[in-house]
Amino acid sequence: MRHVHTTKPAFAWSPRSWPSERAYAVPDAEEVWCYTDRFSYFPGETVAFHLSASVPSFTVEIVRDGARPETVWRRDGVTAGRHEAPADAHAKGCGWPAGLTLEIPDGWRPGFYIVTVRAVLSDGELWEREHFFVVKAPAGRRPKAAIVLTTGTMLAYNDWGGANHYRGLGDDPRDDAGCPLASTQRPIARGMIRKPEGAPREANHLTLPMNGAPRYASYEWARLNGYSRHHGDAFWASYERLFVRWAEERGYELDYLTQHDLHVDETVLDGYRCVIVVGHDEYWSWEMRDAVDRFVDGGGGLARFGGNYQWQVRLSDDLTTQYCYRLPSLDPDTERSPRTATTMWEAKSVGRPGATTVGLNGLGGVYTRYGVATPRSSGGFIVYRPHHWAFEGTDLYYGDQLGAAPTFLAAFEVDSVEYTFRRGLPYSTFEDGAPETLEILALTPAVRGEEDRFGGLLPMGGPEEEVYAYNRELGDDLPDYVNEGGMRGAGMIAAFTRGRGEVFNGGSTEWPYALHVGDPYVDRIVRNVLDRFLTRDLEG
């Protein structure tokens, strides 16, 4: 969902006072920047590093990140010319030449590799910025499980170069419009790849006093420490990294893919038994969903420990640009089809509800424990079906709280479906595409936007008015049930079968954090899901 929007000027967050990071915003600044030509590679393929520097020389270091980070390559004394970035680099890319190349050695393991460019500046200060690439296992050497990195959501929130899908265009802080184009050919916002341990999350772990003002610790920390305001919204440092560290410590062997890999090849998941998606998982293309549906229908297990499944995007043929206009009326592609319309999955013009793939959808839930969105809720899910296989060995009972404070499993952004209660149990109403086999295992209240009780005087991360504005502009393209419930929603944990396969959906962005802080119930549930899917008979 969109963040940092107000009905009156919010000076602390306005584009003028907190601009997106750009190259050489101060003309004589000493800086080094890097991006790669692609997001993923096989051993033997060549990575091209596109570099720009205003220092005489610098270091490039590559670390395979995980439970035990390992430096695998380093080169000192690298030089590069100073190349300016165009004003619309966020949309069109930087266009810098490749200043360094590296052939991926055959012995490099599948994983997430952080590329750090580092220089000691003339005043003695240390400059560091990061990029990444993924190494994939070649055919014949693949593990049984693959984690799919949420590159679609990362691109949506990456504001390096001036803007992202949410903000950055124009100079009016009352109407800070987003850009529908997001380029892969640029650096990544500071904090999405690497940041200090303990950096605040988007989930609100503070207790709001009576009549208290909304607080956003993630924004406050980022503003003070020079990170992107969107550092906690997406990707590795906040989400996938926490899960991968947990998985490696427990002996799970993973292959690594990006959503872009799914987009170009719907067969890319064939042969895995378990596919994992974690964290803030908001943006998918039609083709990416095709790959997941094919995998599950063929007998695979989709383990989704994420939340906020909401928007369809499309990619350019060369994969360098992601498009998301949100409102079809703004899309210049007049020949768009349901598979290329960039709006909510639940829109009639798309006709492919998100729940048909993952069981839940972002439109049914959205915010909890975020700002003043259910600010005093427990932070956990109420358990309704404790005898489901996912809860085996947890000793959970009907009505128990799963992941409540201080774990905060049900926090930030969550997914749900339309539901009703019968004799003390929640059931899907199936009006929003939910699969007939869906079981709702646990539930928490959520809202689609924050209620403004402050007369527009305080900045809000996800105000109700923003949601109403989308609903008004989409009009008849939204199903009736979307507007009937106002801002009320829910977060859910759910499971269902599809074809010969099975899906577990944790329905919240905060599963990786709950594993990171060592919640024993969450730990057991995740192991139950992975172990079940890894031992599934794909021929069954």
Note the pTM of the prediction, 2 decimals. Answer: 0.94
Number of separate helices (H) and strands (E) present in the chain: 11, 25
Query: Is 70 exceeded by the pLDDT of residue 281?
Result: yes
Residue 501, domain member (yes or no):
yes
| Per-residue pLDDT tens over the stretch 125-170 | 999 999 999 999 998 899 999 999 999 999 999 999 999 999 988 7
Query: Is 90 exceeded by the pLDDT of residue 335?
Result: no
- The pLDDT of residue 456 is 87
- The pLDDT of residue 328 is 85
Residue 52, domain member (yes or no):
no
Residue 315, domain member (yes or no):
yes
User: Of 38, 40, 41, whose CA–CA distance to 49 is shortest?
Assistant: 38
- The pLDDT of residue 17 is 59
Query: Sorting pLDDT into bands at 50, 70 and 90, what band is 7?
Result: very low
- The pLDDT of residue 519 is 98
Express as a percent the part of the chain with pLDDT over 70.
95
Residue 363, domain member (yes or no):
yes
Task: Measure CA 307 to chain center.
Answer: 8
Express as a percent the part of the chain with pLDDT over 90.
84
CB 507 within 8 A of CB 494: yes
Output phi, psi for 358, to 5 deg: -110, 0
- The pLDDT of residue 172 is 57
Query: Is 70 exceeded by the pLDDT of residue 3?
Result: no
**Mean predicted lDDT score pLDDT of the chain:** 93
| Per-residue pLDDT tens over the stretch 351-410 | 999 999 999 999 888 999 999 999 999 999 999 999 999 999 999 999 999 999 999 999
Residue 539, domain member (yes or no):
no
CB 96 within 8 A of CB 90: no
Q: How many domains does the chain have?
A: 1
Sign of the C-alpha dihedral, residues 316, 259, 330, 10? negative
Using alpha carbons only, how large is the chain's radius of gyration in Å? 22
Q: Determine which helix (DSSP H) or strand (DSSP E) holds 233, and give its type and residue range.
A: none
**C-alpha distance across the termini of the chain, in Å:** 38
Query: Is 80 exceeded by the pLDDT of residue 1?
Result: no
- The pLDDT of residue 305 is 98
| Per-residue pLDDT tens over the stretch 10-58 | 334 444 457 899 999 999 999 999 999 999 999 999 999 999 999 999 9
The rounded distance, in Å, linking the Cα atoms of 89 and 104 is 28
- The pLDDT of residue 375 is 96
- The pLDDT of residue 2 is 47
The mean-pLDDT minimum among 231-235, 322-326, 381-385, 473-477 falls in 473-477
What is the mean pLDDT of the segment spanning 94-104?
97
188 or 364: which leads in pLDDT = 188
29 or 1: which leads in pLDDT = 29
Report the C-alpha dihedral over residues 382, 384, 389, 393, rounded to 10 degrees. 60
Query: Is 70 exceeded by the pLDDT of residue 539?
Result: no
Residue 354, domain member (yes or no):
yes
The mean-pLDDT minimum among 196-210, 249-263, 472-486 falls in 472-486
Q: Return the SS3 of 153.
A: helix
Which residues constitute the domain of residue 403? 145-154+213-220+229-534
- The pLDDT of residue 173 is 53
| Per-residue pLDDT tens over the stretch 282-323 | 999 999 999 999 999 999 999 999 999 999 999 999 999 999
The mean-pLDDT minimum among 255-269, 334-348, 439-453 falls in 334-348
CB 533 within 8 A of CB 269: no
Task: Measure CA 75 to chain center.
Answer: 31
| ∠ CA 118-120-122, rounded to 5° | 145
- The pLDDT of residue 175 is 59
User: Of 297, 306, 250, 312, whose CA–CA distance to 277 is shortest?
Assistant: 306
| ∠ CA 476-480-482, rounded to 5° | 100
Query: Is 90 exceeded by the pLDDT of residue 473?
Result: no
Query: Is 70 exceeded by the pLDDT of residue 65?
Result: yes
Residue 188, domain member (yes or no):
no
Q: Determine which helix (DSSP H) or strand (DSSP E) holds 501, and give its type and residue range.
A: strand 501-505
Residue 111, domain member (yes or no):
no
- The pLDDT of residue 19 is 83
**CATH code at position 311:** 3.40.50
Task: Measure CA 181 to chain center.
Answer: 17
Name residues whose C-beta falls within 8 Å of residue 22's C-beta, 6 or more positions apart in sequence: 85, 89, 160, 161, 162
